[in-house]
Each structure stands twice: as C-alpha cells, then as structure tokens.
C-alpha cells in the first residue's frame, strides 16, 4: 500500500470527539489559505496573512455557521512544514461536522490517522523518534509518561542515538579505509574503545525500557491471598475510597475486580482477586483458577499473609510459585497482634489497611519493583519498536567487538542501518510508517 500524497490539501477535526468549549478543524497543504478565505469572513476585513490570528465568522450559502478564530501558518514555518490553517469554533459536534464538510467541498481531502504528523516527518520537520513521541504525549496517562514523551519531542533520545551512531560510524569508516586503501598506509585505529562506549550507551537505554513502557502503558497489579487475607481492604486503602466489598465472610470475592489508580506517577490497574483455597463450590473454584492466571500474567503480584492467622502450606506453595522479581509479600492486618513468625528469603511489608500503617512504604516498594533499576536516568526507552531494535543492535555491536575486521564491518553496517530505522534517517519501509502512524488519531 502506497503512502498518501503530500502535495494535496488535507482536513480533519483536531479535537477529541464530544462536546467542548472549543473545537479545531485543521487544514494542511497548498490550498489551505484559499479554502479558509472561501469560508471565513474576518471582522476587520483584512486578508489572512501568515503568522496571524483573525476573528470573524464562518459561513455557507445559508448564512453564518459560527463565530471563529483562524490561525494561519505559512510553509515551512508550521507543524507540517506546509501551509496550515486552524479554524477554532465552538466545540459542538454539529458545528465541527458542518465546517469539516465545507472544507471538503472546497477541495480538501479527509486526512488519514496521523497524516499531519506523517507530513511533518516526511517534510523533514521532525524525525521519526519525535513523531512517535507525539503519540506518546497524546496518550500519556501519568506525569512520568508525559515527561518521557517530552524528552522524545526535545530530541533527547535522538541525541543519545546520535552519540552511539557517531562511535559506530567512526569505527566502520576506519575499517573501510584500511580495506579500500591497503597501499596508502592507513593507520589502524583502536576499535575497542568506541565500540565498548557505544555498547555502554545502548545498555543504559535498554536498562530503562521496562520503566519506560510501564510509565507509558501502565502496569497490572494483582492482589492475591487466601480468603479474608485483606485483599479488598488493601485495594480500598490504595484507592482512597471503597471500591471493593469488605466482609468477614470467607469467599465474598468470587470474581476479580479491577480499579485504576496512580502510585508514584505510575498508572496502575489494581486487581482484587478471589481468595485462593480448595473449594467444592464451582463458581468459587472458577474464581480461584482466574486468580492464579491473573497472578501469572500480572506485572506485579502482592501476596497477602494475614498477621492474625498462621500461614498454611497452601500459602507457601503459592509464594514459591511466584517469581521474586514480579511479586511482593505483604503482611496484612498489621494493626492486629501477629501470631506467627517465619523467616522469608525476601522482605515482608507490614500494612494495616484500616490504620494506613505501612501504605507509603508499600507504594515505594511497588514503584521500585515495577520500574527496576533506572538509576539517575531521566530518559526512559518507552517505545517497544525502539527497544527491540536496540536489542538487536546491541547483539551486533558485541559481536563486532570480538570479530575480525572484515566481519565486524558487516555487523557495523547492520548497526548503522538499524539506528537509521529508529530515527527515520535511512530507508524506512512504507509498511513500517503506515503501522506507526495508523495508531494516531485523525487530525494529529
């Protein structure tokens, strides 16, 4: 499938669906100014000029549609590096649909998802990392996700990739010079140091991939334990309001219940699960099976042990089945006298949902477990495409370090090609671009 043309004029509603105070219809392309002049009458009767803001009204053959403000941008000084017009109206759906119809009647084509940002990329206004950061900014659900998207927009990630590329290019160029001019006495350089420096920078970025993807997409947190272990009470305490029914009757929660929350800027879906125990009740048994499946696939599981009840063999069996890297042990009902003492190989976090005791320490442990060791890095690798490509790049660089020069050159050529695919500076398959921009909303 071919990419859409760049030389026509596109139009789309740029604001979210629904009713709002303001709505925006965006135009980009050579006919943008002409279309706006057909539909818009400035109050001051002055023609639209680049970089200007005009107040007036939009109209059709039947009369005035709405009051409007028009922002105009002349190529290349716009988001798409083309002539761009933004029509700001009241945010009613009927108004926006009517204005959109009129822009199409005047010659504009309805934009495809992400086509404005695709034009910005294809016209050299932004690189591909910045383009993908636009989508991450739009989808950001937490402060950490927003901050990380801002790093991408400001080219912070591109700059790190450029440093890696610079070291690889230097080594590749030196190897090629030795091969191409064997009789010229080209002095061989030390290839190890720049390659190891590039490898270190790649490792630093990859170490942040888990944190970056969780910050962007969120994490699933499963609350697991026997009936009456305090799972529902802990969920309510983390949320700050009552979402799950709390009862002294064992087996109250027979199905799982999900609730969104934010812990230390991490978007989380907390899951209150059915208590794990042997039961003859078919419905409860189904809930127990679902609990085990949820725990197996969650980003993090909290296994609750009741301070007032001696742990059973079933408790230890489930704890042994949980990966230490994806689970925490919680001593629930810590406001009650603890009737047992056991040595666990990992920390046990005491929490009282009723008194609030230990909640902040538990939240800190949750965020640290989810984000991993990101050190002092402010830039996190949040894009899965970037992470997968860098993993392949890392293997090639490490391979080149230990390979003879002729084979190392082939590896480094692949590395440079892969880095160019991340930034969009090399040959990018049309299918890749279509996949990236298809995830955008229409109008962005």
Q: pLDDT averaged over the chain? A: 87
pLDDT score of 369 more than 70: yes
Q: Give me the pLDDT at residue 430, please.
A: 81
Taking residues 235-239, what's their average pLDDT?
90
Closest by CA position to 27, among listed 10, 50, 49, 41: 10
Closest by CA position to 24, among listed 92, 99, 89, 79: 89
- Output 67 or 3, whichever has higher pLDDT: 67
What CATH number matches the domain at 217-371, 3.10.105.10, 3.90.280.10, 3.80.10.10, 3.40.50.300? 3.40.50.300
What CATH number matches the domain at 134-208+380-424, 3.30.460.80, 3.40.50.2000, 3.30.300.30, 1.20.120.430? 1.20.120.430
Pairing of strands 257-263, 84-91: unpaired
Taking residues 244-253, what's their average pLDDT?
54
Q: Give me the pLDDT at residue 282, please.
A: 58
Share of the chain above pLDDT 90, in %: 51
pLDDT score of 186 more than 80: no
pLDDT score of 189 more than 70: no
Taking residues 306-323, what's their average pLDDT?
87
b/e map 234-247, b = 16+ CB within 10 Å: bbbbbeeeebbebe
Where do the structural domains in the chain lie, given as residue ranges?
10-127, 134-208+380-424, 217-371
Spatial separation of the C-alpha atoms in residues 92 and 23, rounded to whole Å: 7
pLDDT score of 284 more than 60: no
Q: Which helix (H) or strand (E) holds 15?
A: none
Instruction: List the single range of 83-97, 402-416, 418-432 with lowest mean pLDDT.
Output: 418-432
Taking residues 285-314, what's their average pLDDT?
83
Q: Give me the pLDDT at residue 182, please.
A: 58
**10-127 topology per CATH:** Gyrase A; domain 2 (3.30.1360)
Give residue-wise pLDDT tens across range 51-71.
889 999 999 989 999 999 999
Three-class SS state of 296: helix
Spatial separation of the C-alpha atoms in residues 295 and 300, rounded to whole Å: 8
pLDDT score of 380 more than 50: yes
Q: Report DSSP letters for 24-58, one per residue.
A: EEEEESTTHHHHHHHHEEETT-PPP-TT-EEEEEE
Task: Give the model's confidence band at 290: pLDDT under 50 very low, under 70 low, under 90 confident, else very high.
Answer: confident
Taken in order 140, 143, 147, 148, the sign of the CA dihedral is negative
pLDDT score of 429 more than 80: no
pLDDT score of 165 more than 60: yes
Spatial separation of the C-alpha atoms in residues 366 and 368, rounded to whole Å: 6
């Amino acid at each position: 499938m071919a990419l859409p043309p760049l030389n026509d004029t596109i139009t789309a509603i740029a604001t979210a669906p629904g009713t709002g105070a303001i709505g925006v219809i965006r135009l980009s392309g050579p006919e943008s100014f002409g279309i706006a002049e057909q539909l818009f009458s400035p109050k001051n009767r002055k023609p639209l000029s680049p970089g200007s803001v005009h107040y007036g009204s939009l109209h059709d053959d039947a009369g005035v549609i709405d009051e409007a403000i028009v922002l105009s941008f002349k190529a290349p000084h716009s988001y798409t590096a083309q002539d761009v017009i933004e029509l700001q109206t009241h945010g009613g759906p009927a108004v926006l649909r009517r204005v959109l119809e009129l822009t199409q009647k005047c010659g504009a084509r309805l934009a495809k998802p992400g086509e404005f940002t695709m034009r910005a990329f294809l016209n050299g206004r932004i690189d591909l990392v910045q383009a993908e950061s636009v989508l991450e900014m739009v989808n950001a659900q937490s402060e950490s996700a927003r901050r990380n998207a801002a790093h991408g927009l400001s080219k912070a990630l591109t700059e790190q990739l450029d440093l890696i590329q610079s070291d690889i290019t230097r080594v590749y160029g030196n190897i090629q010079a030795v091969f191409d001019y064997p009789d010229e006495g080209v002095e061989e350089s030390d290839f190890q140091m720049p390659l190891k420096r590039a490898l270190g920078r790649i490792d630093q970025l990859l170490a942040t991939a888990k944190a970056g993807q969780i910050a962007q997409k969120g994490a699933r947190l499963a609350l697991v334990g026997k009936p009456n272990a305090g799972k529902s009470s802990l969920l309510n305490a983390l949320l700050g309001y009552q979402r799950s029914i709390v009862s002294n009757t064992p087996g109250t929660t027979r199905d799982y219940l999900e609730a969104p929350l934010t812990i230390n800027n991490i978007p989380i879906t907390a899951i209150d699960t059915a208590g794990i125990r042997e039961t003859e009740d078919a419905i409860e048994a189904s809930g127990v099976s679902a609990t085990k499946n949820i725990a197996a696939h969650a980003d993090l599981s909290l296994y609750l042990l009741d301070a007032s009840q001696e742990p059973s063999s079933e408790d230890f069996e489930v704890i042994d089945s949980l990966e230490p890297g994806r689970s925490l042990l919680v001593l629930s009902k810590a406001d009650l006298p603890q009737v047992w003492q056991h040595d666990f190989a990992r920390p046990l976090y005491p929490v009282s949902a009723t008194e609030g005791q230990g909640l902040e320490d538990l939240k800190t442990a949750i965020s640290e477990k989810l984000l991993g060791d990101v050190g002092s890095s402010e830039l996190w690798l949040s894009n899965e495409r970037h992470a997968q490509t860098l993993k392949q790049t890392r293997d090639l660089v490490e391979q080149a370090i230990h390979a003879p020069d002729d084979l190392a050159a082939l590896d480094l050529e692949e590395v440079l090609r892969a880095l160019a695919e991340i930034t969009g500076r090399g040959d990018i398959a049309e299918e890749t671009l279509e996949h990236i921009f298809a995830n955008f909303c229409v109008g962005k």
